[in-house]
Chain A
Amino acid sequence: MAKARTSAAISPLMRDLARYISNALRKPLPAAVSEKTRHHTLDTIAAMVSGSRLLPGRMAVSYVKTLGGKREATVVGSRLVTSAVHAALANAMCAHADETDDSHAPSLTHPGCGIVSAALAMAERMGRGGDPLLRAVALGYDVSSRLTLSLGGADFRQTGHLTHSFGPTFGAAAASAALLELDADRVRHVLSYTAQQVSGLSTYPRDTEHIEKAFDFGGMAARNGVTAAAMVAAGCTAVEDVFSGERNFFIAYDESRRSGRPPPQPQMLVHGLGRNYEIMRTNIKRWSVGSPIQAPLDSLYEIIRAHGVKAGDVENITVRVSTTGADTTDNRDMPDICMQHMCAVMLLDGIVTFESAHDEKRMKHPAVLALRRRVELIRDEELQKLIPERHGIVELVLKDGRRLRHHTRAVRGTAQNPVSRAEVDEKGYHLMAPILGAKRARALCDAVWNLPALKDVRRLRPLLRA
């Protein structure tokens, strides 16, 4: 390579970003960021374990089984250990097999499913410790969010592209490159291989079985990110600066002429890097149910805990959400997107788990049906005005005449109202216990909380397999 000639052509932007990625493993995370990164790591692992038993996950696991490969990384929820690239593909599809995984609202991405799977596979391949894994994951979220934001976020999706794969592909690549300890020159090449592979269309709402969607959001991003880093680690070179110069990445994806919206802002890639950790702005889905049902379940749970309410005490319930939210969830056939059913389940059980949210048989149970008749869903025009903020108001009239009301303004788990460690633990545990067993699910939760002390991520293998 003509290093002397090309080094002059590298933009300050690329230099800053590549240096940040190559230094990320050496730089400790602030305590709050380390804590939040563990939340998202556990939340994503739990989504993988639970997803490994759903159709998209089962298809992904059996698919990579046919491919074979070097024994580098675990396929979660199976007995398979395979090449990092295929483990990342399968685990990422498992992580987005349902809709329990995390999301970063400003960039319109689900960062965890693509990034945590890539980082986990690469950390296993390299035998890295828990701290490097967490640093790589936090890095991945930072690169992923900034990439999609630099392209205009919602504007970019409006022109048909897939924000849900673009950012996470770069996030997965950055996390993988960091775990391979590539230097800044080689990181620039990783970014070029990533830019060549990054792809995706926002046709996914038309996917009926959620298999392609699991690939688009998770598997494809993880596979391409790991591939970019692994190729460079194997000695493949590339274009020195894909983010500037002739026919660069931002020229191809400048849709301002078509959309009439502002052109890409490459500077966003490094904006606030090292100060604003995007994982802090990432939402965890507390309940494994449709988005409009989150706020009412938060309110109901609050009322139940505060007043010791039992299902038998309830005369009637009024639930108010936005008009579109109500339309989406009004007396639906599937339990996890049916508002009336999920409120009944919460009252009966005092909690909602992944299992109870997906238990179709229970929709016909007399006790559930009796309670469901007392639930009234109201389309609220005022709450509609607050969208994209998803408020919910629940009013309970008890048989003894008491009236209890709760208004959820920021859904629990969103960046404005983050969940505590205990709540993440509870969600993760409940997702994993039915598959891993109570003991291993407990041990896996604990292992994630103790990741900073873990010397080799491969030690998680016995807990991840099934």
Chain B
Amino acid sequence: MKNKGAASAISPVMRQLATYIARAGGKALPRAVLEKTKHHLLDTLAAMVSGSRLLPGKKAIGYVRTLGGTPEACVIGSRLTITAEHAALANGMLAHADETDDSHAPSLCHPGCAIVPAALAMGERERSSGTRLLRAVALGYDVAARLNMSLNAYEFREDGHSTHSFGPAFGAAAAAGSLAGLNYDQARHLLSYTAQQASGVSCWMRDEEHIEKAFDFGGMPARSGVAAAAMVSHGMSAVEDVFSGERNFFVAYGRAPQPEVLVRDLGKTFEVMNTNIKRWSVGSPIQAPLDGLLELIRAHGIKAGDVERVAVRVAHQAANTVDNRSMPDICMQHMVSIMLLDGIVTFESSHDEKRMKHPRVLEVRKRVELYGDDELTRVMPSRQGKVALKLKDGREFNIHVKAVRGTADNPMARAEVDEKAYHLMAPILGQKRARALCDAVWSLDKLNDARKLRPLLRG
């Protein structure tokens, strides 16, 4: 490599970004960031475990089983241990097998499903400590979100590209590169290999079985990011600065790209803090009403039998999307009934189709009314909801949920993340291992080797 000649041609943005990536493994996270990173790591692990039993997850595991490879990292929910690249591909598809995984609204992506699998696979390969793993994940979120925002995520999607794979591919690469211990020069090469592989068109919404979508959002960016890191760590060199100079990344992509956004507030604003966790494994418009209902149930000790009538209000288009649908997790009336009957909603109950015909559920559902609301339509994209409850004893309760629980404006507590994850994992791992895995994530900063998680992750 002609380092001397090339050094002068490195842009300040690239210099800062590559330096940040190369140093992230050695830099402690602020306490709140460390805590939030654990939330997202556990939330993604839970999505993977649960996803391993859904069609896209089963197909992903079936596919990588045909490939084989050096036993570097485990495929969650299976007995398979294979090459980090393939484990990341499969686990990425598992994490987005359903829609339970996290999301970063300003950059229009689901960071966890690509970044956490890439970090976990590379962490296992490199026998990284839990602390390093968490730092790599936080780094991944920072790079993924900024990459999309540098392209103006909303415009970029409008032009037909997939924000859900571009940013996360860079995030996965940064996380994997950090765990592989890449230095400053290598970090620049890592970004070049990633830029060459960054891809995706936004017609994924036409995918019917959610298998390709799981690849597009999770498996593909995780695979590409890990491949970039593994190739550079093996000694492969690349273009010195893919973000500036002749025909660079920003020439090919973006209407009016802002490369400087790649490093804006890096080390000050941690994007994992701006990432949403989905509290309920149901469609987005149903989140706010379930939040409100749970609040009323807990505050007043309400039972399904006490209820005379429930009126739910959401934005007009939201009401259209979830009005008396045939799938449980996207049917407002059904999910409200389940919450009243069970006092909670789990992944299992929101995916139990049989129960849609159960007499007790149908009896409660008759009392649920759904309305489109002008005021709530005006505040979109903030997905607000109102619940009005009338009890048989004449009492009435009203609640207006302005920030959905789990979103950046109203983050979940550790206990809530734990509860969601535990309920997602227990049916597959068993209660004991699900409990142990949750606890292992909470004390991840004390773990000295990521491979020690394996016995808890396997199916």
**Nearest residue, chain B, Cβ from A83:** B67
In the bound complex, what is the Cα–Cα distance between A83 and B63 (angstroms)? 12
Contacts of B203 in A (CB 8 A): 192, 239, 242, 245-249
* CB nearest neighbor in A for B68: A70
Give the contacts of A202-249 with B (CB-CB under 8 A): 202-209, 211-212, 215-216, 220, 230-231, 234-240, 242, 245-249
Chain B positions within 8 Å of A192 at CB level = 203, 212
B207 to chain A, nearest CB (A): 5
Interface residues of B in 229-250 (CB under 8 A from A): 230-231, 234-240, 242, 245-249
A443 at the interface (CB under 8 A from B): no
A168 to chain B, nearest CB (A): 13
Nearest CB in chain B to that of A206: its residue: B239
* Contact in complex: A160, B248 (CB < 8 Å): yes
Q: Which residues of A contact B212 (CB under 8 A)?
A: 189, 192-193, 196, 236-239
Shortest Cβ distance from A280 into chain B, in angstroms?
30
Find the residue from B85, B165, B199, B207 having the highest chain A CB count within 10 A.
B199
A69 with B239, Cβ < 8 A, contacts A160-B248, A196-B165 known: no
Interface bits A185-206 vs B (CB < 8 Å: 1, else 0): 0000100110111111111111
Partner pick for A236 among B215, B234, B239, B242, CB 8 A cutoff? B215
- B299 in the interface, Cβ–Cβ < 8 Å? no
Asked whether, in the complex, the Cβ of A67 is within 8 Å of the Cβ of B193, the reply is no
- A1 interface contact, C-beta 8 A: yes
User: Inside 8 A of B234's CB, which chain A residues have their CB?
Assistant: 59, 62-63, 66
Indicate if the CB atoms of B236 and A83 lie closer than 8 Å: no
B37 at the interface (CB under 8 A from A): no
* Of the residues B68, B196, B249, contact of A68 by C-beta under 8 Å: B68
* CB closest residue in chain A, given B9: A206
**Contact across chains for A70 and B66 when beta carbons are under 8 A apart:** yes
Instruction: Name the CB-closest residue of B to A125.
Output: B66
Select from chain A the residue with minimum beta-carbon distance to B208. A1
Known A212-B237, A212-B239, A237-B212: A252·B159 in contact at CB below 8 Å: yes
Collect the chain B residues with CB atoms within 8 Å of residue A208's CB.
1-2, 6, 237, 240
Which one of A83, A189, A196, A209 lies within 8 Å of B220 (CB-CB)?
A196
A68 touches B69 (CB 8 A): yes
Interface centre among B161, B220, B242, B247 (most CB of A within 10 A): B247
**Minimum distance in angstroms from B2 CB to a CB of chain A:** 6
Whether A59 pairs with B160 at a CB distance below 8 angstroms is no
Chain B residues with CB under 8 A of A198: 199
Tell me if A372 is interfacial: C-beta within 8 Å of chain B.
no
Whether B211 sits at the interface, judged by CB under 8 Å, is: yes
Q: Indicate if the CB atoms of A59 and B198 lie closer than 8 Å.
A: no
Contact with B along A355-369 (1 / 0, CB 8 A): 000000000000000
Please report the C-alpha to C-alpha distance between residue A239 and residue B240 in the assembled complex, in whole angstroms: 36
Contact of A83 among B69, B162, B195 (CB under 8 A): B69
A247 and B160 contact, CB distance less than 8 A? yes
Q: Once bound together, how far apart are the Cα atoms of A451 and B308, in whole Å?
A: 79
**A contact residues around B201 at 8 Å (CB):** 195-196, 242, 247-249, 251-252
Per-residue CB contact flags for chain B residues 51-68 toward chain A (1 = under 8 Å, else 0) read 000000001101100111
Residue of B nearest to A194 (CB): B199
B238 touches A212 (CB 8 A): yes
Closest Cβ–Cβ distance, residue A110 to chain B (whole Å): 15
Given A59-B236, A67-B69, A211-B236, A216 and B196 contact (CB-CB distance below 8 Å): yes
Complex: A209 Cα to B2 Cα, angstroms? 9
On whether the beta carbons of A201 and B67 are closer than 8 Å, the reply is no
Determine whether the beta carbon of A199 is less than 8 Å from that of B199.
yes
Residues of B within 8 A of A6 (CB): 208
Residue ID in chain B nearest A189 by CB atoms: B212
Q: Is residue A41 contacting chain B, with contact meaning CB distance below 8 A?
A: no
Give a binary string over A171-194; 1 marks a CB under 8 Å from any B CB, 0 the rest. 000000000000000000100110
Identity of the chain A residue whose Cβ is nearest the Cβ of B66 in the assembled complex: A234
Are the C-beta atoms of B238 and A159 separated by less than 8 Å? Answer: no
Cβ < 8 Å to A, chain B residues 395-424: none
Q: How large is the interface on A (under 10, 10 to 19, 20 to 34, 35 or more residues)?
A: 35 or more
Contact A67 B83 (CB under 8 A): yes
Is A85 among interface residues, defined by CB-CB distance under 8 A?
yes
A240 to chain B: closest residue by CB = B206
Q: What residue of chain B has the Cβ atom nearest to residue A211's Cβ?
A: B236
Chain B contacts with A in 193-229, Cβ cutoff 8 A = 193, 195-209, 211-212, 215-216, 220
A residues in contact with B83, CB < 8 Å: 67-69
The interface residues of chain B lying within 8 Å CB-to-CB of A231 are: 63, 215
What separation, in Å, do the CA atoms of A463 and B276 have in the docked complex? 56
Give the docked Cα–Cα distance between A220 and B194 (Å). 11
Closest to A237 in B: B209
**Closest A-chain residue to B199, C-beta based?**
A199
- Measured between beta carbons, the chain B residues less than 8 angstroms from A247 are 160, 201-203, 205
48-71 of chain A: CB within 8 A of chain B: 59, 62-63, 66-70
Q: Which among B2, B6, B220, B236 is the interface contact of A212 at CB below 8 angstroms?
A: B236
Q: Quick one: which of A66, A67, A70, A209 contacts B237, CB cutoff 8 A? A: A209
B363 to chain A, nearest CB (A): 32
Does A458 sit within 8 A of B, measured CB to CB? Answer: no
Does A390 make an interface contact (CB < 8 A)? no
Minimum Cβ distance to chain B for residue A356 (Å): 27
* Residue of A63, A83, A199, A237 with most partner-chain B CB within 10 A: A199
Asked whether A199 lies within 8 Å of B209 as measured between CB atoms, the reply is no
Whether the Cβ atoms of B62 and A234 lie closer than 8 Å is yes
**What 0/1 readout, one digit per residue, does chain A (251-280) give for beta carbons within 8 Å of chain B?**
111100000000000000000000000000
Of the residues B1, B70, B242, B247, contact of A67 by C-beta under 8 Å: B70
- Contact of A117 with B by CB under 8 A: no
Shortest distance between the CB of B257 and any CB in chain A (Å):
11
Q: B32 an interface residue at 8 Å Cβ cutoff? A: no
Tell me the minimal C-beta distance from B290 to chain A in angstroms: 29
Which residues from A are CB-within-8-Å of B195? 201, 203
Smallest CB-CB separation from A89: which chain B residue? B227
Indicate which residue in A67, A195, A207 contacts B239 across the interface (CB closer than 8 Å): A207
Query: Would you list which residues of chain A between 8 and 61 have a CB under 8 Å from chain B?
Result: 59
Quick one: closest A residue to B162, CB to CB?
Answer: A196
- Min CB–CB distance A239 → chain B (angstroms): 5
- The reply on A2 being an interface residue by CB < 8 A is yes
- CB-based nearest A residue for B242: A203
Chain A residues with CB under 8 A of B68: 68-70, 83
- B237:A235 contact, CB within 8 angstroms: no
**How far does the Cβ of A71 sit from chain B's closest Cβ, in whole Å?**
8
Determine if B208 and A212 form an interchain contact, defined as CB atoms under 8 angstroms apart.
no
Instruction: Say if the beta carbon of A288 comes within 8 Å of chain B.
Output: no
* In contact, A197 and B63 (Cβ under 8 angstroms): no
Q: Is A165 an interface residue (CB 8 A)?
A: yes
A161 within 8 A of B: yes
| A66 in contact with B220 given A160-B247, A204-B239 (CB within 8 Å) | no
When chains A and B are docked, how far (Å) is the Cα of A335 from the Cα of B141?
A: 48
Q: Is the pair B63, A203 in contact by a Cβ cutoff of 8 Å? A: no
Q: Quick one: which of B1, B192, B204 contacts A239, CB cutoff 8 A?
A: B204
Bound complex: CA A62 to CA B236 (Å): 11
| Closest beta carbon of chain A to B398's beta carbon, Å | 40
> For the complex, is B251 an interface residue (Cβ under 8 Å from A)?
yes
Q: In the complex where A197-B220, A209-B1, A220-B196 touch, is A237 in contact with B242 (Cβ < 8 A)?
A: no
The 6 residue pairs across chains A and B that have the minimum distance between CB atoms: A160-B252, A252-B160, A68-B70, A199-B199, A160-B251, A238-B212
Which residues on B are within 8 Å of A, measured CB to CB?
1-2, 6, 59-60, 62-63, 66-70, 83, 85, 159-162, 165, 189, 192-193, 195-209, 211-212, 215-216, 220, 230-231, 234-240, 242, 245-249, 251-253
- Not counting A160-B248, A239-B212, A252-B160, a sample of 4 additional A-B residue pairs whose C-beta atoms are within 8 angstroms of each other reads A161-B252, A189-B212, A196-B216, A239-B206
* 13 contacting pairs across A/B (C-beta < 8 A): A59-B235, A67-B230, A196-B200, A197-B220, A201-B242, A201-B247, A202-B247, A203-B239, A209-B237, A212-B237, A216-B196, A220-B197, A246-B203
